[in-house]
Amino acid sequence: MPESHPDGDHPTKSVAFSLPVGRGNLHANARVPAGRTTVTELLPVIRNIETAITGRVEEEAQAAGHPISCSAGCAACCRQMVPLSFFEAEALGGWLRSLPENVRAELEKRFLRALTALREAGVIDKVLDPKFEQSDEFAAGVTIDYFKAHVACPFLENENCGIYSIRPLVCREYMVTSPPALCQNPAENDVWGLDLPVKLSHALFSFSRKLGQNRRGWIPLVFLFAWARRGATPGDSVSGTGEEVLKKFLDEVAEAVEADKNRGPALGGAEKANPS
Ligand code: SF4
């Protein structure tokens, strides 16, 4: 799976920063482009930061006797609606266009099959209903209907993620500690996950919301092909030198952390499907 790194052949700069994670601060250095970049182009750096955050949280949970129960081959959560920020949609759209025609055509068929199954289950009409954006209660009901339709993410291959290295942030933030069997029905079972102190996905949703394209700031991943056809480049709205864009992103993270505190603890089982 291709994974671009901002280094490329262009000059880069190391930027030090810290984030409140677990029992202390996560101090890190990120290597970012010295010249102009966009938040979409910075996604490889953002994914690396996410890996550092989830790694720290997982270590602390393990030490406290709450190991993560997710394991390779268990993809129960990959039947939920996956919220994708516009920037991640832009990056995945570019990745799709880089694929050989036959591979892209096969993937497009999978997306169409998933959309057809969801339409037959009545889910697509509900996602397109204006109430999906206007009412959190309505949206929560739709996410449950989505899961009950049992339609796998089109990127799922033999119960493993086919885009693991470039999977969305929400997929990285879903860390379950309850018995895996409960994930077969998270709407009715008590599924518990780690409540990450910093959710980078929420910062991207928040940036996306500011673009004013929809109230939630994300699209369901299953709409990716249709969205990518528009060729939109929302990342251009958050651009500057690598250091400037990273700073804007970290400021947005700080705002998202405050907003999450006011919202209260997230439900482990509902978080992937209902992030806002
Ligand atoms: S992108 Fe990968 S991890 Fe996320 S839901 Fe799809 S298959 Fe699962």
Please write the tens of the pLDDT for every residue from 150-203. 999 999 999 899 999 999 999 999 888 888 888 777 777 888 888 788 899 999
Tokens of 19: 């984030």
Strand partners of residue 19? 26
Q: Which atom of ligand 1 is nearest to the CA of 272?
A: 5
Count of structural domains, the chain: 1
Phi, psi of 272 (to 5 degrees): -65, -35
271 in a domain, yes or no? no
Task: Single out the residue of 4, 48, 2, 1 nearest to residue 26, CA to CA.
Answer: 48
pLDDT at 263: 66
196 in a domain, yes or no? yes
208 in a domain, yes or no? yes
225 in a domain, yes or no? yes
- Among 155, 164, 174, 271, name the best residue to mutate to test ligand 1's pocket (greatest count of ligand atoms within 8 A of Cβ): 155
- Among 153, 159, 166, name the best residue to mutate to test ligand 1's pocket (greatest count of ligand atoms within 8 A of Cβ): 153
What are the tens digits of pLDDT across the range 78-128? 999 999 999 999 999 999 999 999 999 999 999 999 999 999 999 999 999
209 in a domain, yes or no? yes
1 in a domain, yes or no? no
pTM of the model: 0.88
Q: How far is the centre of ligand 1, averaged over its atoms, from the C-alpha of 65 (Å)?
A: 27
Supply the residue whose CA is at minimum distance from atom 5 of ligand 1. Answer: 78
248 in a domain, yes or no? yes
Domain of residue 74 covers 12-263
β-strand 218-220 against 83-85: which pairing, if any?
antiparallel
Task: Single out the residue of 85, 197, 210, 222 nearest to residue 143, CA to CA.
Answer: 222
Chain mean pLDDT for the chain: 87
270 in a domain, yes or no? no
Tokens of 254: 């700080």
Supply the residue whose CA is at minimum distance from atom 2 of ligand 1. Answer: 161
